[in-house]
Amino acid sequence: MDPRLVPARDMVRPPGKAGAAGARFPLGLGERGVHELAEAAYGDMPALTGFALAAAKPRKGAILWVTQAAFAAAHGQVLPHGAVGYPAGRAPLLIVRPRKLVEALWTIEEGLRSSAVGLVIADVEGADFTATRRLALASGRHGTPLVLLMPHDREGATAASSRWRIGARPSAPNRFDPHAPGRARWQAVLERSREAPWLAGHVFDLDYDDETLSLTVVSGMAAGQAAPRAPGGADGERAPPRLAAV
Amino acid sequence: MPEIVSEDIDREADQRALAALAGWMVRYSPRVALDGIDGLMLETSGCDHLFGGEAAMAAQLSETLDREGIGHAIGLAGTPGAASALARGMGGSGPHMLAEGMEREGLADLCVSALRLSPEAETLLRRFGLTRIGQLYGVDRKALSRRFQSRDMADAVVLRLDQALGLRTEPLDPLRPAPAFSARLPCPEPLGATEGVSDGLRQLTEMLCAQLSTFGQGARAFAFHAFRSDGTVSGVEVSAARPVREPKHILRLFRERIDRIDPGFGIDLLLLEARRTGPMATSAVALSGDLAATDTDLAALSALADRINARLGEGATRIIRPAESHIPERAAREAAFAGDLPDVPAPCVLAGPRPLRLLARPEPLEVLASVPDGPPVRFVWRRVARRVVRADGPERIAPEWWRSLGPVPDAPAGGGMTRKWLSPKLDKRADAALIEASRRRLEEAERGEPVRNLPRARDYYRIEDEAGRRYWVFRRGLYDDGRGGPPEWFVHGLFA
């Protein structure tokens, strides 16, 4: 493995407690509880989708994918042929496209209560504190994780365990063809977290390899520009790792 | 007579009223068919005992219709033709009844017009002096058909006669398929409140599920009818992805819709029908997840899908079924969830990478700068100009030629075929247009103009812009492929 790439797990420890069991990287995303992913700018919905499918590892059951009809028209529908390259993309997929937000929230809650569903992913235009609290309670009671993919104007209070803001980044250099896009890269900013509040505001630069299905934290990518067409330059001037065990 | 007002007969309204009456008649028999434009046919086999025999049933039917002020005549016999002849030929509201096997004697004195014949056939028969049905019995069939002008008309008369006498069968064409299982709950006092209705529904569901489990069956659809005492009916229907017979689950599906039942002036009969029945898969649930063949509990998933469908409408839950095709939108076809899950598509090594999100339909993009036979350098999509930094491709997906073997929509067919030929009596403008179209087609054929509407090859590229967004774009068509104008560009999907 490239020495600059650090596995994304086991990275995060609370400050001052070097030996303490810290939170593992996606902070329970797609494993338990409700997590929000928001677009950094309009058009980052595919990056959100990729991050959700790469970080979540459903243990059993199908994925219930709830997409509000307007979202499906704007950002398309998840494609199983493309999702097989992600750990969560191999689970059977049940798609529901409600028109209204109320219907979408109702569908999400029904899905959380079903024993056949291992993960609920929802593209919704927004959800207020009460709605997220309700979903968090349902998720906690039935042990089914929920990932909400939300538009870039998502702000305000939430009862979700974390909110991430995800943006697309220029892809990793392609070893076989310098002119072709390489591995997908995203920048994930942890805006708020209940599990690891000391990490709020932290920036994770992520690199996803769809051959080994591994999500890794890349250091230095965001500090310097990734100049993919000049392979010599980018490699030399990488900034020191921004994220290290403190 | 100035006080007489005349109005045209409204056949459509009559048809609607008759259909509504037929829906209400389901309370007497599940098999109700329309008989012409003014009659209803009920199959009473197996139903009459619920009302205390045929005579009591007919009397009750007559009484109810009288109460609603609907003029009627009732006939009851062993064959549909005989019953219809009794109702139409005996006069008075009846009920006129004929025992099984007595058709020949019972119908002999009736007028031939009771046989549901065309007016021409009736006129002809009257001219021959054949006015009673009994007179037809003795007539030689060959002689009869020789007297009619056309063979069809003679056949029609013989057919109706044979049907009435039971020599030929006459299958009913019921308005709704008869349910395999049903449960009914007559109410001694008309129900006026929704609570009573849901209480009745609970009893009915338990009765029906007991019936279903006796036969080892489950049903995929349930229809609930509430018959009001004023002769109208309101109903709701729910469906399931796979056969079910769990009362709790069925009641939960109905819970979303039961409000649509309007008690009106009171409901005096509740009826629950099971439709689309099939054997239940009654396998024991694996105790450990490791023992299960699949790790998705299909029964629980179907139950979830049923609840969502009951709330959001039929077919709200979708799955994507992979199909054998190279065209991306055909390879991932959406279908309603029907109790089974498709296999996960194997990552194909021969095809190129596939995007994570596929747009509902390819969106055209405006190319600002391009290189010949290469991806665009700058393009506008959704009103934002983007510069391509890196690109990969092309992956050529050729059209499926076997799909375009049919007639090309613009081909020289139609037009001339539907019209006889030029005729001075027809309007001249249409002729001029026809001549013009034929001339243009001939000219195009001579010049070797490209044939339109043939599918064109697509060259797919994976491109990345400055912001790091990755798109799946394609160029439809090639220069000089003889299938239309210059190539067009589209965005078809988005990579993560």
Q: Where are the domains of chain A?
A: 5-170+182-221+232-236
A14 touches chain B (CB under 8 A): no
Q: What are phi and psi of A122, to 5 degrees?
A: -135, 130
pLDDT of residue A243: 44
pLDDT of residue A84: 87
Angstroms from B302 CA to nearest CA on chain A? 9
- Cα distance between residue B457 and residue B478, in whole Å: 7
A108 touches chain B (CB under 8 A): no
pLDDT of residue B426: 56
Peptide bond into B95 cis (omega under 30): yes
Q: Cβ–Cβ contacts within 10 Å for residue B132, how many?
A: 15
Per-residue pLDDT tens for A131-189? Answer: 999 999 999 999 999 999 999 999 888 999 999 999 999 999 988 889 999 999 999 99
Task: Select from B317, B357, B467 the Cβ nearest to the Cβ of A96.
Answer: B317
pLDDT of residue A44: 93
Task: Select from B305, B317, B496 the Cβ nearest to the Cβ of A49.
Answer: B496
Quick check: B296 and A92 CB within 8 A? Answer: yes
Dig out the tokens for B228 from the structure.
């009001």
pLDDT of residue B425: 56
CB contact at 8 A, B12 and B24: no
Task: Select from A82, A107, A180 the Cβ nearest to the Cβ of B390.
Answer: A180
pLDDT of residue A3: 45
Task: Select from B301, B344, B462 the Cβ nearest to the Cβ of A80.
Answer: B344
Q: Which residues of B touch A86 (CB under 8 A)?
A: 356
- In A76-95, the residues whose Cβ lies within 8 Å of chain B are 76-86, 90-95
DSSP string, A128-194: -HHHHHHHHHHHHHHT--EEEEE-TT--S---SSEEEEEEEEPPPPPSS-TTS--SEEEEEEEEEES
Quick check: A46 and B494 CB within 8 A? Answer: yes
Quick check: B496 and A80 CB within 8 A? Answer: no
Q: Which residues of A touch B466 (CB under 8 A)?
A: 170
- Cα distance between residue A196 and residue A162, in whole Å: 9
Which chain B residue has the Cα nearest residue A97?
A: B316
Least Cα distance to A225 among A169, A177, A174 occurs for: A169
Residues whose CB is less than 8 angstroms from the CB of residue A153 and which lie 6 or more positions away in sequence, other chains included: none
Quick check: A81 and B300 CB within 8 A? Answer: no
CB contact at 8 A, B89 and B160: no
Q: What is the pLDDT along chain B (496 residues), one digit of tens a residue?
A: 678 888 888 889 989 989 888 888 888 888 889 888 888 999 888 888 888 888 899 998 888 888 888 888 998 988 888 888 888 888 777 788 888 888 888 888 888 888 888 888 888 888 888 888 888 887 777 777 777 777 778 888 888 888 888 888 888 888 887 788 889 888 888 888 888 888 999 999 999 999 998 988 899 999 999 988 877 888 898 988 888 888 999 999 998 888 888 888 888 889 999 988 888 866 655 565 555 445 677 888 999 999 999 899 888 999 998 888 888 888 888 899 988 888 776 666 677 889 999 998 999 999 988 887 889 999 999 999 999 999 998 899 988 878 766 554 444 444 444 444 445 555 667 777 777 787 777 766 666 554 556 788 899 999 999 999 999 999 988 877 777 788 899 999 999 8
Q: Which residues of B touch A184 (CB under 8 A)?
A: 470, 495-496
A116 touches chain B (CB under 8 A): yes
Residue with tokens 């013009």: B436
pLDDT of residue A12: 56
Q: Beta strand B376-381 with B366-370: parallel, antiparallel or unpaired?
A: antiparallel
Q: Which residues of B touch A47 (CB under 8 A)?
A: 469, 496
pLDDT tier for residue A11 given thresholds of 50, 70 and 90 = low
Task: Look up the CATH architecture of domain B181-279.
Answer: 2-Layer Sandwich (3.30)
Distances (CA, A) of A83 to A42, A70, B70: 22, 21, 63
A231 touches chain B (CB under 8 A): no
Q: What's the one-letter identity of residue B440?
A: R
Q: Which residues of A touch B298 (CB under 8 A)?
A: 116
Q: Which residues of A touch B391 (CB under 8 A)?
A: 179-181
Q: What is the mean pLDDT of residues A105-126?
A: 93
CB pairs under 8 A between A and B: 192
Residue with tokens 């000391």: A198
Angstroms from B312 CA to nearest CA on chain A? 7
Task: Select from B341, B359, B469 the Cβ nearest to the Cβ of A92.
Answer: B341
pLDDT tier for residue A225 given thresholds of 50, 70 and 90 = very low
pLDDT of residue B113: 84
- Cα distance between residue A96 and residue B311, in whole Å: 12
- In A151-180, the residues whose Cβ lies within 8 Å of chain B are 167-171, 174, 177, 179-180
Quick check: A177 and B392 CB within 8 A? Answer: yes
pLDDT of residue A217: 86
- Cα distance between residue B486 and residue B366, in whole Å: 13
Quick check: B357 and A107 CB within 8 A? Answer: no
pLDDT of residue B272: 92
A71 touches chain B (CB under 8 A): no
Q: Which residues of B touch A95 (CB under 8 A)?
A: 317-320, 334
Which of A66, A90, A94, A101 to probe the B interface (max B CBs under 10 A)? A94
Percent residues over pLDDT 90 in chain A = 48
Quick check: A73 and B360 CB within 8 A? Answer: yes
Q: Which residues of A touch B319 (CB under 8 A)?
A: 92-95
Angstroms from A192 CA to nearest CA on chain B? 23
Which chain A residue has the Cα nearest residue B340?
A: A92
Angstroms from A18 CA to nearest CA on chain B? 35
Which chain B residue has the Cα nearest residue A80?
A: B345
Class of A5-170+182-221+232-236 per CATH?
alpha beta
pLDDT of residue A241: 41
Q: Cβ–Cβ contacts within 10 Å for residue B79, how many?
A: 21
Which of B319, B357, B371, B395 to probe the A interface (max A CBs under 10 A)? B357
- Cα distance between residue B59 and residue B49, in whole Å: 13
Q: Which residues of A touch B357 (CB under 8 A)?
A: 45-46, 49, 75-79, 82
Which chain A residue has the Cα nearest residue B308?
A: A107
pLDDT of residue B466: 92
Which of B320, B329, B377, B382 to probe the A interface (max A CBs under 10 A)? B320
